Amino acid sequence: MTSQTYDAIVVGAGPGGAASAILLARQGLNVLAIDRKPDEDTYKKVCTTFIQRSALPVIEKLGLKEKLDAAGAIQNACEIWTEYGWIKDEGAGDPSTAHGYSVRRKVMDPLLLELMQAEPTLTLELGATLTELHADETGTFCGLTYATKDGPQTAHARQIVLADGRGSPGAKLAGVPTKMRENNRFVYYSYYENMPLKTGKTAQFWQTGRDMGFAYPFDGDLTMLCAFVCEEDFPEWKADRRTALESFFKDLPNAPDQSTATPASEIRGMRKLHDYWRPATYQGLALVGDACMSCDPMSGVGCGFAMQAADWMAERVGPALVSGKGHAEALNAYAKQHKSMLAGHEYFIRDASSGREANLLEKLISRAAVRDAVVAHRVHLFVGRVIKWQEFLSPGTLGRILLANLRGAPRTAPELTHVRG
């Protein structure tokens, strides 16, 4: 068995792996990317792909934006319903117009592979499954073996990037320490035709007690209904998933009219979507995307965070590989940036995935946000992961939250809804 040598090897060609490989290759580095998916048309089946607006800069940098727009992806925005009324983002005088995307993985995953294949120094091997990781005498990982239809292959590189998703077989092989917290909600969703939203292209989120409902407009004139529901209701949902899903939305305020709609997909869903997190670097490995941090999908952060982390990794590690200097420092800098940018978001997302009731501060924020356009805008920036919690809960915003709670009527009149305690 011969071994090829590269500057970097990326395991996984989802959003995190594709972005890592492209952004390293664009620095002139020789990159091998392997993925076990058999061909270009294979895509991740279970993902609701509401990509938060924090990811727009990296989407633009990759050249993915033009491709998404051409493919009919929806430039997304959302309105959030709580028991106090609608939290709408009217910009509050902020000139920035960042948006995310709603696009099916069936559409986005092949576009990412297309971008990879356009890089002259990037070799993409599909149908290639990581089976072993090799370390040098210092314990630093520097090579791997992968299975292909032509038999096992080995390759070596100065940098191995694990972007192999939530279960990360690579992290298991390397013995990367993994932390886990149980998620107490399951999810079911389906695409529909002829189900326009009353808000046009603006997605709708409903917080009904401890459950969440989402209606997203999608490419292909589709609408998705998606519900994240506490585990105790699972037996009832499992008995008739479509009826349970459609009934969930029937009484929600301003919900789409289902009378003309027809299902455009089977009901998809998952349980036990636990939160996993691992260090961003381990014995020379860089971990990117879900392999490093796999949050509750209800937050819709996974694809965006995966591409953003890839960008931070490539910005730090790429120049060190090009110059042959400061590799260890670059890896440490990546880990530090990952923690500084995402640890706070991860904490709040993980805390909410227990399916607990909203706490007093969250209630005060929601109540203020239906009354005060600035608070509403900041809620949207935080939920869109554009700002960190320290910026969101600044003394200025906290003051506005308190004042708005003391002040008169909401901007939008609350409508009746059923709320499950």
Ligand X SMILES: Cc1cc2nc3c(=O)[nH]c(=O)nc-3n(C[C@H](O)[C@H](O)[C@H](O)COP(=O)(O)OP(=O)(O)OC[C@H]3O[C@@H](n4cnc5c(N)ncnc54)[C@H](O)[C@@H]3O)c2cc1C
Build a one-symbol-per-residue string for 115-144: x at contacts with ligand X by CB under 6 A, - elsewhere. --------------xx--------------
Residues of span 175-234 touching ligand X by CB under 6 A? 187
Q: Answer yes or no: are the C-beta atoms of 285 and 157 closer than 8 Å.
A: no
Q: Distance between CA atoms of 239 and 224, rounded to whole angstroms? A: 21
Indicate the DSSP class of residue 255. P
Binding range to ligand X, per CB under 6 A, among 178-186, 276-284, 286-294, 399-407: 286-294
What's 46-62 look like in SS3? Answer: CCCCEECHHHHHHHHHH
Q: Answer yes or no: are the C-beta atoms of 197 and 215 closer than 8 Å.
A: yes
Q: Distance between CA atoms of 294 and 55, rounded to whole angstroms? A: 16
Binding range to ligand X, per CB under 6 A, among 35-43, 275-283, 367-375, 403-411: 35-43
Is 169 a binding residue for ligand X by CB under 6 A? The answer is yes
Is 245 a binding residue for ligand X by CB under 6 A? The answer is no
Is 314 a binding residue for ligand X by CB under 6 A? The answer is no
168: left (phi over 0), alpha (psi -120 to 50) or beta: left
Is 278 a binding residue for ligand X by CB under 6 A? The answer is no
Instruction: Please compute, for residue 24, the number of CA atoms within 13 A of its CA located in the half-sphere on the CB side.
Output: 34
Those residues whose C-beta lies under 8 Å from the C-beta of residue 195, and which sit 6 or more positions away, are 223, 225, 256, 257, 258, 260, 261
Find the binder of ligand X among 118, 180, 270, 322 (CB under 6 A). 270
Find the binder of ligand X among 62, 113, 222, 306 (CB under 6 A). 306
Binding range to ligand X, per CB under 6 A, among 175-183, 288-296, 312-320, 383-391: 288-296
Binding range to ligand X, per CB under 6 A, among 6-14, 85-93, 134-142, 274-282: 6-14
Three-state DSSP at 288 gives coil
**Shortest approach of ligand X to residue 245 CB, angstroms?**
14
Q: Residue holding tokens 């008995």?
A: 239
Considering the complex, state which of residue 85 and residue 289 has its C-beta at the smaller distance from ligand X.
Answer: 289
Is 312 a binding residue for ligand X by CB under 6 A? The answer is no
Closest-approach residue to ligand X (CB): 302
Q: Answer yes or no: are the C-beta atoms of 2 and 18 closer than 8 Å.
A: no
Q: Distance between CA atoms of 339 and 293, rounded to whole angstroms? A: 10
Residues of span 344-403 touching ligand X by CB under 6 A? none
- The β-bridge relationship of strands 141-148 and 100-102 is unpaired
Q: Residue holding tokens 């939203």?
A: 197
Binding range to ligand X, per CB under 6 A, among 41-49, 84-92, 193-201, 238-246: 41-49
Find the binder of ligand X among 8, 273, 379, 387 (CB under 6 A). 273
Is 29 a binding residue for ligand X by CB under 6 A? The answer is no
Build a one-symbol-per-residue string for 44-63: x at contacts with ligand X by CB under 6 A, - elsewhere. x-xxxxxx------------
**Shortest approach of ligand X to residue 83 CB, angstroms?**
24
Considering the complex, state which of residue 80 and residue 303 has its C-beta at the smaller distance from ligand X.
Answer: 303
- The β-bridge relationship of strands 185-193 and 222-230 is antiparallel
Binding range to ligand X, per CB under 6 A, among 32-40, 255-263, 340-348, 355-363: 32-40
Q: Is the dihedral of CA 215, 218, 222, 228 positive or negative?
A: negative
Is 74 a binding residue for ligand X by CB under 6 A? The answer is no
- The β-bridge relationship of strands 78-82 and 74-76 is unpaired
DSSP line for 104-118: -HHHHHHHHHHHHHT
Is 31 a binding residue for ligand X by CB under 6 A? The answer is no
Q: Tokens at residue 274, please?
A: 């636990």
**Shortest approach of ligand X to residue 331 CB, angstroms?**
18
List of residues contacting ligand X (CB under 6 A): 11-17, 34-37, 44, 46-51, 129-130, 163-165, 169, 187, 270, 273, 289-291, 297, 300-304, 306
